[in-house]
Amino acid sequence: MVHKILIANRGEIAVRVIRACRDLHIKSVAIFTEPDRECLHVKIADEAYRIGTDAIRGYLDIKRIIEVAKACKADAIHPGYGFLSENYDFAKECEDAGIIFIGPKSDVIRKMGNKNIARYLMNKNGIPIVPGTDKLNNKSINEIKDCAEKIGYPVILKSSGGGGGRGIRVVFKEEELEEAFEACKREALAFFNNDEVFMEKYIQNPRHIEFQILGDNYGNIIHLCERDCSIQRRHQKIVEIAPCPSISDNLRKSMGVTAIAAAKAVGYTNAGTVEFLLDDYNRFYFMEMNTRIQVEHPITEEITGIDLLVRQIRIASGEILDIEQSDVKPRGYAIEVRITAENVWKNFAPSAGKITEYYPALGPSVRVDSHIYKDYTIPPFYDSLLAKLIIKATSYDLAVNKLERALKEFIIDDVRTTIPFLIAITKIKEFRRGYFDTSFIEMHMQELLSKTEDRHQDNKEEVIAAIAATLQKIRASREKN
């Protein structure tokens, strides 16, 4: 077993890893940049080291992070999610330095981090993929138009090295293609330092279903059931549910077998996620593989009773996976909602500031993963995630009821959060029935805004203007389609 782990991350996930370390009696090391000096992960780690003054740059400084790990004699690094978690160079530098990277091997990260390579490998191994192309950068615009014509509109342009909803453009007709292609390349280069773009058939309004994978260093791979991540805004997940409330047992079994086959095709180790798109005819297609722990991992933990962070550490330490697929028996339903510092009434603009009151929800089977506390000042430099509220119940209907209750008890002042918007989601009929797809937020935005109670009591004119602006966008989108 490793004896000291450096967490190359911040915020909620850093706190989560530190707690897993404590459960295993392993020393934890936090890193932080100057704006994060008062963040909770810095306060609760056994050791903490500043890695720079720039808010972001320090968390991306591979050389500096490895220097700190060596200096404090950490024998392992946990990358969390985001930042360097899926960076091939970081994993390779850790391996070369003799430091355990808690995740898959660097070569697997390289292969699955490039969506074109991933598509090729999946297709080669019989995993269903969405019809599409290889990279388009070496083709003329006329050749790209020919590709779109063969695939059939609408199509979606994607960055080969992208993720998190960046580097994506949906194209409904030929006249939009050239401009969308150039915009996709620019965004891909800006966010991923790689302007490689490819094209796929755009599956309209699919369900987004992902399977949690665990694999040890000896070829044993299992899945821990699925999560439904269809409720999204701008390709960003808002609500996640495990298991999916609207698929059959036969479909679940078929997708699970395929997810394991996908992981075995690349020799996957540690925790990862195989993501699928599921269409109206229950045909599913490989979307991507995330080679890290996911934000939404707690709902899998809740229905299976398996601590994924502890398992990550044990697998990285060389332990054999002592769970077989037949041992995985999910119980009940779990739902996670992401509470973010955003102003719903100003087009979800980020909302930084000092938290004057903080009372997280409590009660049976209610869990909160967070890094905030009373009098904590939210810095404006990072992702807006403040807390993850996770609830569990014996049935999906009861889970939704419990979620609504817990959200109404959750208090974060004096910053704007998405709590009222999340409460509104629990009141929508389709959500309560468990039947929805990735168009849920867009299709219900008017109703959601009308049901969203403004705890800060904005004037009615601002509320009406927000609804009118949203309706105008929806009408324009429908006219385009």
CATH code assigned to 4-102: 3.40.50.20
What average pLDDT is seen over the chain?
93
- CA-to-CA separations, 218 to 50, 102, 106, 192, 267, in angstroms, rounded: 37, 16, 17, 33, 10
Give the tens place of pLDDT for each residue, 311-348. 999 999 999 999 999 999 999 999 999 999 999 989 99
Domain residue ranges in the chain: 4-102, 131-201, 207-451
Give the pair of three-digit tokens for residue 222: 């299992």
Fold of domain 207-451? D-amino Acid Aminotransferase; Chain A, domain 1 (3.30.470)
Residue 130 φ then ψ, to 5°: -70, 135
Residues whose CB is less than 8 angstroms from the CB of residue 429 and which lie 6 or more positions away in sequence, other chains included: none
Give the tens place of pLDDT for each residue, 463-476. 455 555 655 665 66
* CA 370 – CA 385 distance, rounded (Å): 9
Say yes or no: domain 131-201 is CATH 1.20.1250.20.
no
Give the tens place of pLDDT for each residue, 182-197. 999 999 888 888 899 9
pTM summary value: 0.89
Residue numbers annotated as active site: 292
Give the tens place of pLDDT for each residue, 404-441. 999 999 999 999 999 999 999 999 999 999 999 999 99
Q: For residue 201, list its beta bridge partners.
A: 155
The domains spanning 4-102 and 131-201 adopt the same CATH topology? no
* CA 6 – CA 68 distance, rounded (Å): 9
Residues in the chain: 481
